[in-house]
Amino acid sequence: MKNNRYQTLGEFIIQNQEDFQYSTGELSRLINSIRLAAKTVNHEVNKAGLVDIIGAVGTINQHGENQQKLDVYANEIFIRTLRNRQIVCGIASEENDDYISVEGSDGQHNSKYVVLIDPLDGSSNIDVNVSVGTIFSIYRRLSPEGTPVQLKDFLQAGRNQVAAGYIIYGTSTMLVYTTGHGVNGFTLNPAIGTFYLSHPSMTIPSEGNIYSINEGNYVHFPQGVKNYIKYCQREEEDRPYTSRYIGSLVSDVHRNILKGGIYIYPQTAKAPNGKLRLLYECNPMAMIVEQAQGLASDGYNPILDLEPTELHQRVPFFCGSESMVRKAEEFMKN
Ligand code: AHG
Ligand code: MN
Ligand code: MN
């Protein structure tokens, strides 16, 4: 093992650079920029209760949802940080209608990577002081280097991700990410602004007892999901399930990775593709969960195998402990 318990994220990134195929240090610099943006957003999230920064800003985003001010702020911070450092050739964000093409100071588009972000996940939890997060996903571009990015650079199957991660602004702030060599979690020491490797080689228990789903939508769920919930609720000693639902994907999945569990946001009668976005939420979370030895599925097929057709595509999402996801899939198939 290359890492030890008190390694900082900065040291870890440098030491593990050789893990990336054809590495030129570009991906390391990119992850470093995300680390910087995360610290800035963290600072702002922590201030949310103190200053008049919370509350709806009055604009409606791509998905017809009321944008909170912090969503806008987090979006700006991530985009500005990635842009300024000129380490990506394109950015797509849940908060923007279209992708952004980034050019270097020389007017060229020489970077290899595109980034997709959900800058603030769980935004309805901001003004009630409940954990929120950021999710990011990184791909190598498909179009030739030196040319402006194209839509196809963003519409890649999740399997092609070179890295993915999330930041959870919780009781402590953590950055959890993978470059395809397992999952590592870093906790921020806010006093000195440094992330430390607190959770090396994270793995999700193959069986768990937590199911996380918004049961308020129960009547609209497909029969397979209803049956799975009833299975979890059955009064038998060998099925000791319990329900936990925060309403922030990042927080719900983070807890399930640590404790074992399943997160489900299924299709409903009203939303036939569910609510979560394939590119900004499901693909990165799926890569992390798979790298932590869990599973992520749309109820039938692995999320990472889906071929996206549009930037803001939604997809039903089942993810977590391997045996729980398999069980839920069984119910979906019957
Ligand atoms: P976002 O704040 O980025 O729009 O995402 C909210 C998502 C996700 O974080 C959460 O799990 C889910 O929406 C909750 O939806 P419901 O309120 O419908 O349960
Ligand atoms: Mn989200
Ligand atoms: Mn969001």
Q: Which CATH number fits domain 210-333: 3.90.1150.10, 3.40.50.620, 3.40.190.80, 3.30.390.30?
A: 3.40.190.80
Cα 303 to chain centroid distance, Å, stands at 13
Q: Which atom of ligand 1 is nearest to the CA of 120?
A: 3
> Counting ligands in written order, which one lies closest to the CA of residue 246?
1
> Counting ligands in written order, which one lies closest to the CA of residue 65?
1
* Cβ proximity of 295 and 326 under 8 Å: yes
Domain limits, CATH 3.40.190.80, in the chain: 210-333
Cα–Cα distances (Å) from 22 to 3, 15, 157, in that order, read 22, 15, 21
Cα-to-centroid distance, 6 and ligand 2 (Å): 31
Cα-to-centroid distance, 245 and ligand 3 (Å): 17
**Residue nearest atom 7 of ligand 1, based on CA coordinates:** 122
Cα gap 134→121, rounded to integer Å: 6
Q: Is the pLDDT of residue 4 over 60?
A: no
Domain limits, CATH 3.30.540.10, in the chain: 9-199
Q: What pLDDT, on a 0 to 100 scale, did the predictor assign at position 266? A: 98
| Residue among 215, 249, 281 to mutate when testing ligand 1 (max atoms within 8 A of CB) | 249
Q: Which atom of ligand 1 is nearest to the CA of 122?
A: 2
Cα-to-centroid distance, 249 and ligand 2 (Å): 7
> Counting ligands in written order, which one lies closest to the CA of residue 123?
1
Span 175-202, average pLDDT: 96
- Judged by average pLDDT, the poorest of 55-59, 86-90, 105-109, 279-283 is 55-59
Cα-to-centroid distance, 50 and ligand 2 (Å): 24
CA nearest to 296, candidates 308, 309, 283: 283
CA nearest to 130, candidates 282, 242, 251, 47: 251
Cα-to-centroid distance, 94 and ligand 1 (Å): 12
**Residue nearest atom 17 of ligand 1, based on CA coordinates:** 247
Cα gap 106→125, rounded to integer Å: 42
Residue with the larger pLDDT of the pair 106 and 283? 283
Cα gap 168→188, rounded to integer Å: 10
pLDDT tens string 48-87: 776 555 555 556 667 766 656 889 999 999 999 999 888 8
Please give the CATH architecture assigned to the domain spanning 9-199: 2-Layer Sandwich (3.30)
Q: Are strands 210-212 and 242-243 parallel, antiparallel or unpaired?
A: parallel
Span 193-222, average pLDDT: 97
Cα 67 to chain centroid distance, Å, stands at 19
Q: Is 164 helix (H, G, I), strand (E, B) or coil?
A: strand
Q: What pLDDT, on a 0 to 100 scale, did the predictor assign at position 287? A: 98
- pTM score: 0.93
Q: Are strands 66-68 and 56-60 parallel, antiparallel or unpaired?
A: antiparallel
pLDDT tens string 149-162: 999 999 999 999 99
Cα gap 245→262, rounded to integer Å: 11
Cα-to-centroid distance, 101 and ligand 1 (Å): 27
To which residue do tokens 């059955």 refer? Answer: 234
**Residue nearest atom 16 of ligand 1, based on CA coordinates:** 247
Ligand 1 interacting residues, C-beta cut-off 6 A: 94, 118, 121-123, 214, 247-249, 275
Enter the DSSP assignment of 116.
Answer: E
Cα-to-centroid distance, 284 and ligand 1 (Å): 15
pLDDT tens string 213-259: 999 999 999 999 999 999 999 877 677 899 999 999 999 999 999 99
Phi-psi region of 61 (alpha: psi -120 to 50; beta: other; left: phi over 0): beta
Cα-to-centroid distance, 233 and ligand 3 (Å): 31
Enter the DSSP assignment of 144.
Answer: P
> Counting ligands in written order, which one lies closest to the CA of residue 124?
1
Q: Which atom of ligand 1 is nearest to the CA of 94?
A: 3
Q: What pLDDT, on a 0 to 100 scale, did the predictor assign at position 44? A: 87
